[in-house]
Amino acid sequence: MVSIRTMIELMRGERRGVLASLLRGLLWTAQWPYVLIVRWRNRRFDRGHKMTHVSVPVISVGNITTGGTGKTPAVAWLCRHLRDRQVRVAILSRGYRADQSGVNDEALELEQRLPDVPHLQNPNRVDSAGIAIEELESQCLVLDDGFQHRRLHRDLDWVLVDALNPFGFGHCLPRGLLREPRRGLKRADAILITRANQIPESELKALVSEVQSVVGGETPLIRTTHHCEGWRDTEGTLQPLEQWSHAKVAGFCAIGNPDAFRATLESQGCDVVGWRIFPDHHRYDRGDIQELTDWVSRHEVEVVVCTAKDLVKLNVARIGNVPLVALQVGFAFIDDPQPLISQIDGVLPQ
């Protein structure tokens, strides 16, 4: 079985040799049936095919690539903004890789961040919308990762573009990480460039120009950052950044963009002496914990660090004899968010 790391290296072109070139060729060929199906599907929805309208505003937060672009902090910001305005909001998500209780890592993390916001997980988000409106009396619905889920009509489509890997190595699945061709961005009502502070200014300007060439100058384009708030343990205590910055750490994660997490750790001055990657949304079991324990014992580290999504699934205070913490990440704006707020004002009942 090909590992995630190997697949990423293939997509990037880092793997060399005849076999790697052959595999890339096969993946390049395989993307075209996928692209044709996506285009056909989008054309049908563009014509209104089987699109369900509901009685309250729907705001989607999504992306055009697989993997992590920082949706959870963005969803949390949006929901807090709505709650501050006394709007009853519910989150609707697919519930990908949910456990036996019916929730996944994203739901567990959002529950910690937003304990007063209901989160419904169901592949059929039309059904979830009905429950949220009729039973929970929700006044606004937020679609988490909903850009490609077009059965439910939305009043706003916000699309996140990760500055570290904006277009999924330039190819659609399975050759790259694009869920659809980049021209799909034209459907967006606003573009949020995430992790904009983690690339050089020259690259950021080039990315902004590239996105604007697709969506045009009328679509708001907002640069955002993911800033570190502290180290959270399993008890929910948030320790200051100084606690483990510049420490020797063993880091691991099971998210869609592991390189971004490692870059964030290194930006805090952490010396990442051990590094492990698990499949996105991986469900940890006892065997994984024992494997991590053995792995950590082979490194001289002061702390083991994972993401908030990993910590809520592991729910252990230590890996072997080493403390385990998650780096909690918040969401902030480089540009004025007023265009987004104005869009919200435009869809909420007056």
The residue ranges of every structural domain in the chain are 4-46, 58-226+332-347, 229-330
Q: What is the mean pLDDT of residues 137-156?
A: 96
Share of the chain above pLDDT 90, in %: 75
Task: Name the pTM for this structure.
Answer: 0.87
Q: By the 8 A CB rule, do 56 and 133 touch?
A: yes
β-strands 58-63, 140-144 pairing: parallel
Using alpha carbons, list the distances in angstroms from residue 163 to 63, 95, 102. 12, 26, 32
Using alpha carbons, list the distances in angstroms from residue 317 to 185, 270, 313, 320. 42, 20, 12, 9
Tell me if 58-226+332-347 shares its fold with 229-330. Answer: yes
Nearest CA to 107 out of 331, 313, 270 is that of 313
Using the predicted structure, report yes or no on whether residue 98 has a pLDDT greater than 60: no
Specify the pLDDT at position 281: 82
User: Going by C-beta distance under 8 Å and a sequence separation of 6 or more, which residues neighbour residue 349?
Assistant: 57, 139
Q: What is the mean pLDDT of residues 82-95?
A: 94
Specify the pLDDT at position 13: 84
Q: By the 8 A CB rule, do 109 and 308 touch?
A: yes
Question: What is d(CA 253, CA 305) in angstroms, rounded to the nearest whole number?
Answer: 9
Count other Cβ atoms within 10 Å, centred on residue 228: 15
CA 1 from centroid of its chain's CA atoms: 25
Q: What is the pLDDT of residues 202-239, one digit of tens each?
A: 999 999 999 999 999 899 999 999 889 999 999 889 99
Specify the pLDDT at position 10: 86
Q: What is the pLDDT of residues 39-78, one digit of tens each?
A: 999 999 998 888 999 999 999 999 999 877 888 889 999 9
β-strands 89-93, 156-162 pairing: unpaired
Specify the pLDDT at position 104: 61
Q: By the 8 A CB rule, do 74 and 331 touch?
A: yes
- How high does pLDDT run on average in the chain? 92
Question: What is d(CA 59, CA 144) in angstroms, rounded to the nearest whole number?
Answer: 9
| Tokens (6 digits) for 250 | 């063993």
User: Going by C-beta distance under 8 Å and a sequence separation of 6 or more, which residues neighbour residue 38?
Assistant: 172, 179, 180, 181
Q: What is the mean pLDDT of residues 273-300?
A: 94
Q: What is the pLDDT of residues 237-264, one digit of tens each?
A: 999 999 999 999 999 999 878 888 898 8
Q: By the 8 A CB rule, do 94 and 121 touch?
A: yes
Q: Which fold has domain 229-330?
A: Rossmann fold (3.40.50)
Cβ-in-10-Å burial (0-12, 13-18, 19+) of 229 comes to middle
Q: Which fold has domain 58-226+332-347?
A: Rossmann fold (3.40.50)
Share of the chain above pLDDT 70, in %: 96
Specify the pLDDT at position 137: 97
Using the predicted structure, report yes or no on whether residue 298 has a pLDDT greater than 80: yes
Whose tokens are 């169901």? That residue is 122
Nearest CA to 54 out of 92, 27, 111 is that of 92
Tell me how long the chain is: 350
Confidence of residue 280 (pLDDT cuts 50, 70, 90): confident
User: Going by C-beta distance under 8 Å and a sequence separation of 6 or more, which residues neighbour residue 47?
Assistant: none
Q: Is 312 left (phi over 0), alpha (psi -120 to 50) or beta?
A: alpha
Confidence of residue 101 (pLDDT cuts 50, 70, 90): low
Nearest CA to 97 out of 230, 254, 215 is that of 254
Using the predicted structure, report yes or no on whether residue 127 has a pLDDT greater than 90: yes
Specify the pLDDT at position 102: 53
Using the predicted structure, report yes or no on whether residue 1 has a pLDDT greater than 80: no
Using the predicted structure, report yes or no on whether residue 99 has a pLDDT greater than 60: no
Whose tokens are 């995430």? That residue is 194
Question: What is d(CA 334, CA 341) in angstroms, rounded to the nearest whole number?
Answer: 15
Specify the pLDDT at position 14: 84
Specify the pLDDT at position 96: 64
